[in-house]
Amino acid sequence: MRLMNLASGSTGNSSYVGEGNTHVLIDCGISLKRIKEGLDRINVGLGDLDAVFISHEHTDHISSLGALIRKTGLTVYGTAGTLEELSKTENIPSEGFKEIKYDVPFELGRLLIDPIRISHDAAEPAAYRFAAGSFNDGVSVAVMTDLGYYDAYIEEKLEAVSAMLIESNHDIRMLEAGPYPYPLKQRILGKKGHLCNDHAGELLRGLKGNRLKKVFLGHLSQENNYPELAYETVRMALTLGDHLPRKSHVELEVARPDSASSLLEIEA
């Protein structure tokens, strides 16, 4: 199974997941040119894509969706609430929309997909878990950004994954001391906002099992975070302290807003 982030941040988000000859995108919030350039690095063409999965309707996740549909005719998967919001956008054709439901896994080519309920200020946002085979016994990866908070449900969904892209949006102290107006700060810090560095680290450290090999830290705020700060905060959460088993073996990589990540390949 393959996982690569094409871009992640407040300016645009898109990720790639593949297994065998099945290739999908999660979100397309960057230009079609940049998506093509990222996929070209791993010898995948736009015409090779089987579908695009939309997490929610905010612009930084869908800005090139209309262009992508018109160029490729791809099927667009999303929750009912997300698809309803997309249908209101004038330049996004809705003919290829396909509704999915939380916690109802389905197959697409070589992939098994599980839509995950998340908390964010969007119509009906979703994260996604992808498996080659079974979620319990096979290799699986997850793409989860724009996460206001996590709970036991999220932990259960992630405990068996081999790799993931997880939000590490902001440093709480930077946000509180920064120039954002108070209502925006409250939105970001709230349960429908974004996951901070500390909480991303706590979530990862608390996951049961020992399958997790690689984590991409994504959706970093350009105003309220630094890549080095996100990396070190999460690394320390995984490696220090004695109240939970350490996860020193987990490789961390910060996903960037302006360039694609490395390609992660995990054998089933």
The pLDDT, as a whole number, for residue 244 is: 72
The pLDDT, as a whole number, for residue 116 is: 98
Q: Which domain does 217 fall in, by range?
A: 2-265
Q: What is the dihedral of CA 217, 219, 222, 225, to 10 degrees?
A: -40
Q: What is the pLDDT of residues 158-194, one digit of tens each?
A: 999 999 999 999 999 999 999 999 999 999 999 999 9
**Interval 247-252 mean pLDDT:** 91
pTM of the entire predicted model: 0.95
Type of residue at 95: E
Q: What is the pLDDT of residues 197-211, one digit of tens each?
A: 999 999 999 998 788
Q: Output the CA torsion sign for 226, 228, 229, 235.
A: positive
192-195 — which CB contacts under 8 Å span 24+ positions?
192/119, 192/120, 192/121, 192/148, 193/120, 193/121, 193/148, 194/120, 194/146, 194/147, 194/148, 194/167, 194/169, 194/170, 194/219, 194/221, 195/147, 195/148, 195/149, 195/150, 195/166, 195/167, 195/168, 195/169
The pLDDT, as a whole number, for residue 64 is: 97
Angular region, 132: left φ>0, alpha ψ -120 to 50, beta rest: beta
Rounded to whole angstroms, the Cα distance separating 1 from 237 reads 27
- For residue 245, what pLDDT band results from cuts at 50, 70 and 90? confident
Residue 254's domain is classified under what CATH number? 3.60.15.10
How many domains does the chain fold into? Answer: 1
Type of residue at 12: G
